[in-house]
Structure 1
Amino acid sequence: MGHSAMLLGFTWLVMINSIGFAAVLPMNHIIENSISDESTFRAGSEKNTAKYELKDWVMVKATPSDPIRVPPGGRVELECTVFGSPVPQAQWNRGIQLNQITLGPNEFEDSGEFQSVGKVTVRHVIDCIQPHHQGVYTCSGQARDQTMASDPVAISIEGRPVQCASGKTRIVKWSPIITQMIGSTVVIPCVVTDTAPYRQYWKDNFGNIIDTENDSRRKLGPEGELILNNLSWSDMGEYTCVAENAISRDNTSTFLYPMLPNV
């Protein structure tokens, strides 16, 4: 595994612990080194006899964590952020069980080497809550075979009914940060929920709207995700997903960081 990927693992561990994520795996599960007594490691050295193995890992944090009480017709929004390697999948589920997330056949490549690290945020939005929505909800995170669930969040329907608000365009899944190897294909998620027609588009790392219909390397996926082929160093930066309808607008940003291949 290359120096950059190894150092990235330690950096992510510090970042995760600093913002209050519950660590579900020990440090040696994230980076397990098998350095013998004779091995040495020097920063900046071109040769390194140390061998490192990066393990899959996942961490989950959901908000709010306290029980929610809302009148009929009110609005509820649950949010969950998942860290992991490879870039994880995340979803909200009804109930308290840890649900396995249904993945496509090529969702996670099994190359045996470091592929990616990322953070995914998902929202569960109920615009006009009704008694049948009452119950507990759990967020599940999955990075390849590693899975974890948040503490359950309880929703209670109480009080006098209120008038349902008009539904707003809302992005319910995105990735605040993705780190992936140069030369790979990157999928930057952006899932939108809206009962009315809406427009969705992406801005690149220079703030320009991406022409996904005519761009040979950057395409729009079936769920609004940006698919970027053959990742290069020049692709580094912030990408913005925008969704808007006649009365509302929402946007989220992803910082994309390309990494050099393992050496």
Structure 2
Amino acid sequence: MVSLFLFSLLLGTSAGALVVQSHWSHVRLKSIPPARVDGREGGEVILYCSATGSPAPHIAWYKDSMFVSHLDWRVEEEISSMGESVARLIIPCLSQSDVGKYECRARSGEHEVSATTELNVVPNDDPKAGHCSESGLPQISMWRRTYMAEEGDTAVLPCRVQNDASDYKFTWSNADGGNPGAGNDVRYSLLENGDLVIRETRFSDMGQYTCTVTGPAGSDTVHTFFYPLAPERNMINK
């Protein structure tokens, strides 16, 4: 399963092996929403977008060329990294002010790609639609589904919410369900914005990491698979 996963994501070949080339940046969109979305007034629309690239892409949503969230979704990256980044935009309690052009932008190194969606809000015959209120559920809006970096580098696994991060509790767990920093491993740290940082990464850090965001109204969860690559060879045999 892991070998198939790596084969589908790692690009470039050398002497019959797959290799991450730190000097070659690239990015492409993997999942994009429809070109047009119609939402009912008072309802909810979710726009989803993902991109793969090297370095692991920065990704965010814009409305009419303006950054949607007031929060900074940028993540500092090592050049020798690769992965799939996801941006999810939740628009609750739709009104005419939400109508417009929404653009998903992804950037890796000097390369940038984007896709746009026209959002149209149509009248709602339900008389209760005008009394819409947000659920208050935490919504994770940006994370990485997969991430690869060289051993010894610092890996940043983002877990960003659309609203103020200080309103929620962030918890990370590994594949065994335990705390990644258990045993006083100082290489692991949790940032205020929800990101998990792993310094001086080792091959033993490989595996699935789960971010859970909890608030008074409930929780939301996403997963990231992290694969460290040995720098002296930086390749996986076929």
Calculate the TM-score normalised by the size of structure 2: 0.79
Shift, 1:215, TM fit: 4.4
Q: Classify the secondary structure of the residue corresponding to 1:168.
A: coil
Q: Distance in 2 between matches of 1:53 and 1:155?
A: 38
State the partner residue of 2:93.
Answer: 128
Q: 2:221 aligns with which of 222, 229, 251?
A: 251
Q: 1:58 aligns with which of 24, 27, 41?
A: 27
Is structure 2 residue 9 aligned with structure 1 residue 12? yes
Identity of aligned residues (%): 29
Q: Distance in 2 between matches of 1:172 and 1:53?
A: 28
Deviations 1:47-98 (A, max 9, x none): xxxxx7751000114443142111222111101101000111000111379x
State the partner residue of 2:143.
Answer: 174
Q: Distance in 1 between matches of 2:141 and 2:162?
A: 7
Q: Distance in 2 between matches of 1:191 and 1:103?
A: 7
Q: 1:208 aligns with which of 178, 187, 194?
A: 178
Q: 2:196 aligns with which of 217, 226, 230?
A: 226
The amino acid across from 2:200 in the alignment is: N
Q: Distance in 1 between matches of 2:181 and 2:39?
A: 42
State the partner residue of 1:4.
Answer: none
State the partner residue of 1:159.
Answer: 123
Q: Distance in 1 between matches of 2:58 and 2:43?
A: 29
Q: Classify the secondary structure of the residue corresponding to 2:167.
A: coil
Alignment of 1:93-172 (within 5 A): 93-95=62-64, 107-109=76-78, 115-150=80-115, 152-160=116-124, 162=129, 163-164=131-132, 165-172=134-141
- Summarize the Cα distance change of 1:211–1:180 in structure 2 as closer, same or farther, 3 Å threshold: closer
Give 1 or 2 for the bigger CA radius of gyration: 1
Shift, 1:211, TM fit: 5.2
Q: Which runs of 5+ in 2 are unaligned?
A: 1-5, 67-71, 234-238
Q: Distance in 1 between matches of 2:173 and 2:136?
A: 25
Is structure 2 residue 45 aligned with structure 1 residue 80? no
Alpha-carbon RMSD = 2.9
State the partner residue of 2:230.
Answer: 260
Alignment of 1:236-247 (within 5 A): 236-247=206-217
The amino acid across from 2:175 in the alignment is: N
Deviations 1:120-156 (A, max 9, x none): 0011111222211101111000001111112x11111
What is the aligned length?
A: 214
State the partner residue of 2:60.
Answer: 91
Q: Classify the secondary structure of the residue corresponding to 1:132.
A: helix
The structure richer in strand per residue is: 2
Paired residues of 1:32 and 1:54 also in contact (CA < 8 A): no
Paired residues of 1:86 and 1:108 also in contact (CA < 8 A): yes
Q: Classify the secondary structure of the residue corresponding to 1:78.
A: strand
Q: Greater relative contact order (Cα 8 A, min sep 6): structure 1 or 2? A: 2
Q: Structure 1 runs of 4+ off > 4 angstroms?
A: none
